[in-house]
Structure 1
Amino acid sequence: MSAASCLLTEDQFLCSICLDVFTDPVTIPCGHNFCNTCITQHWNKNVKCQCPNCKKVFYRRPELQVNTFISEMAAQFRQSAQQKASSNSSEQQVSKPGEVPCDVCTGTKLKALKSCLVCLASYCETHLEPHLTMSGLKRHQLIDPVENLEGRMCTKHDKPLELFCQTDQMCVCVLCTYSDHKTHDVVPLKEEYEGKKAELGKTDAEIQQMIQKRQLKLQEMKRSVLLSKKDADREITAGLQVFSALKQSVERSQAELIDTIKEKQRKTEKQAEGFIKELEQEIFELKKRSSEVEQLSQSEDHLHLLQSFPSLNAAPPTKDWTEISVRPSSYEGTVVRAVAQLEETLSKQMKKLFEAEMKRVQQYAVDVTLDPVRPKPSQSNQGNDCRCVLSKKGFTSGRFYFEFQVKTWSVWTLGVARKSLRRTGKIQLSPRNGYWTVCRMCQGGYFAPADPPVCLSLRSQPDKVGVFVDYDEGLVCFFDVDAATLIYSFTGCHFTAKLYPFLSPCPNDDFETHTQKGPCNMM
């Protein structure tokens, strides 16, 4: 049987359904063989019992017969295949796409283990053996397998590129040093390799440092986003609480207003119901007497009329309704008083909010010292003489807060400004010109020199004004510190230059007492 098996191939013992060597092979009436499980499952899935190879139809499912001969041959091929697979596991690997093949192998190319820079060829384990055993080949330079070994040859002299010309920054062969690169600085490839490798190490260190810096910046940004989200969630929560309280206050005031009006209406209705009931009773009695009078007047009985007359002639007990009336309840001022009370409640809530806001912005308080240089008096946009002073320190990012005592000043302008702006001559205050300020006029009014200017209505004269700036958000806010109220806000600003605290007091006020002693009453 072994001799016969040499004439057979493995393909002859493959099941046409599973395409693998037969397992428990059976023969069907047409003579074709299949695995017992394969043909059974095939017929279970199909309506007709049909041979998968010749397509012959069996109107009754045939009885499957075990093919002993094929079963024995399939077992031998399976054993042989296992032995072959075990033997191949210890042999060299066949070259796959993307791998460097052996240049010596014929037919099936095996994977190369090394490339020779002298022979300019790549070798598998078998064909590499002479380079490992023969003394003449042992001196050849072997490297990990690479493709395109021809590119390592000088195209002009057909010699290996063994040197590096530092003058032209290119690889050359030995003969090149006697021709085109004769007077150039030429070093061995290994020497230049070591130098370039050191440069690469330095470059890699710089890159790693850049990566580290950016990773730190990335972490910083992520922390900023996380903090921003926490701040946003906190603000949303606080805002919901505030508006919920305000909503409840409005609803409560509305309910109280309705109850007040309804109570007045109930009192009016109750009073009217008593009067109506009395009037209806009197009307009923009067109608009854009228009927009796009419009936008696029509009587022909002289004696009866005269005897009954005295009792009918007496007037029934009635009330004098001349001065009695039901006056509708007065609702004038009811809604106004309710709204005023609501406004008072809202004002208290607003005061609490601004007090909390003041505490938040005051954590960004900075010490600011005014520039000791005294500018000459100049003309402002109000046409009055004024002096403009900036602080020594400016800000180009972040948040900062400072305060001015303005209680003793009759006229003042304060806020922030760009240092590049002039402080003499006629000054036109506006954000467009680089000034974000609020002003107190000589008449006692207040305004913000915005574009266009905005008149401000303040309940009281501020003694201390706080200024909060968020450079990155483009925000400048002015607060009445003692009253804990917002005076005015510049929003949506676009700052591109350094900002300095700005002050312009009235020249008639004692400005020197505020500036000579250091920080000028500024936090």
Structure 2
Amino acid sequence: MLFQVQTLKEQLAFAPLGAGEWWGRGGVSQAGVPALPLLSPARRGGGVTGSPPAEAGREPRPPAALARLVPGWEAALGPKLWPLSRRGSCFSGPAPGTHSQELPPTAPRSPRRPLHLGGPSPTAPGAMACSLKDELLCSICLSIYQDPVSLGCEHYFCRRCITEHWVRQEAQGARDCPECRRTFAEPALAPSLKLANIVERYSAFPLDAILNARRAARPCQAHDKVKLFCLTDRALLCFFCDEPALHEQHQVTGIDDAFEELQRELKEQLQALQDSEREHTEALQLLKRQLAETKSSTKSLRTTIGEAFERLHRLLRERQKAMLEELEADTARTLTDIEQKVQRYSQQLRKVQEGAQILQERLAETDRHTFLAGMASLSERLKGKIHETNLTYEDFPTSKYTGPLQYTIWKSLFQDIHPVPAALTLDPGTAHQRLILSDDCTIVAYGNLHPQPLQDSPKRFDVEVSVLGSEAFSSGVHYWEVVVAEKTQWVIGLAHEAASRKGSIQIQPSRGFYCIVMHDGNQYSACTEPWTRLNVRDKLDKVGVFLDYDQGLLIFYNADDMSWLYTFREKFPGKLCSYFSPGQSHANGKNVQPLRINTVRI
């Protein structure tokens, strides 16, 4: 008969053993009266219904595999297991349901002493733990029992192991026990469900954590020293005080392993906080450096703006005042943003340092229990202490106050004045065969006719429908404008004089090209790696290009209102030429308008 139990210890307590008695806590007396409640009466010959009768004149004994489990388990968990008295259970007094009369003299009363069936001493928990596991090993496969069965000689094996062993013996006509070599003509394999349950409980129970917990630990007031720690609850665990079912699905380990694991976790958290502290420190240094550079740039821009207006003989003071106010507003906005970030990152840095201090104090604690006892509250104390840096900021809009200031100011006041283009022209020797240039080489368009019979040369573009300006820049300040009205595709900018002009070309700085592009009909981007989308409110009709070669600045403007589009900052390695590509035109009339240079004197 089977009984559902909850723990391995209970499985062992109710394990059916040899004929004539239950081994451990009660069972049935030799008179056949059950000594434990809930157990059905057994025949005089055994502990469970159907067990073989005791041999006459032979002292009843437990099956070896099950009997040897008891001292190992009890030695590991603490309480001693006493041998059965001939008066009932192993505890004081007769067991419930037993007779109290004395047994015949042939069954002398055993003295009360700890049960020891040979092997390691019950007082050596480590040795008993090994013995306990060894008793659950099949002697054939040397692994934990799988579907254990017993033979008539009371030896246990895995069903598969003993079956395969007998298959190999079929030629001999007899089958024997691999341990005692007792032969069987027609052996019957008796399933040992109780042993199977014990194996299952043993495999599922964190017994290693119990047996390996030998470090000196803070003692439980009611029991032995505390040897377990629940990683899930972050709390010390007494096996006897704490209900095992409450931690059945938890990660339970010995205090040695818990100490090492939590030390590792806290060190990782400390490392994360230290990394965050370093990142915050670097971010603050960058912000402070940007703060100084912004203030320095503001001072320089004030001088530049003042000089620009001075060159106009101070005739436009109102405009000067307006621009200075705009500069101050931008400066105030930028400085406010930076100072707010400095304050926020300073606060976050203090929290990070506080968190690091908390962890350092915790790691400095050498007492294991004091260290582990505070783990439950440590996570709460660390909340809000770790912050991601994610430093982002906008560049100070210096480009708004650089470039052709005199022309910008003058043009803002005299919208009806259109200057005569300066001497900036296209170089026909670089033009793709599909491109058509005007006679004065200031206009370029894409031709839908067959390619022109132009002589090829290393200077000419053969794939990209592009053309360069005839003048190469190696110093100075230059400004020109390009009319792009009614077009859906174009590329404008600068190219290194030595840049490749053959084959398909990637228009990007690493290839020697600094350009902006119109694409997809109404989208504008800077040809960076990857492209940078430009914030353009209205469709561009005219693009201004400003080059300060010595300062390494190439700035694009909406030439109608001189609003800034994009800035390249580079150390130009050689001569630069203006670059133009009108894009391909289409039969449906799209993009047929040319590009036209409208160069302006500064």
Query: Does the pair score TM above 0.5?
Result: no
Q: TM-score, normalised by structure 1?
A: 0.31
Larger radius of gyration: 1
Identify, as 1 or 2, the structure richer in helix. 1
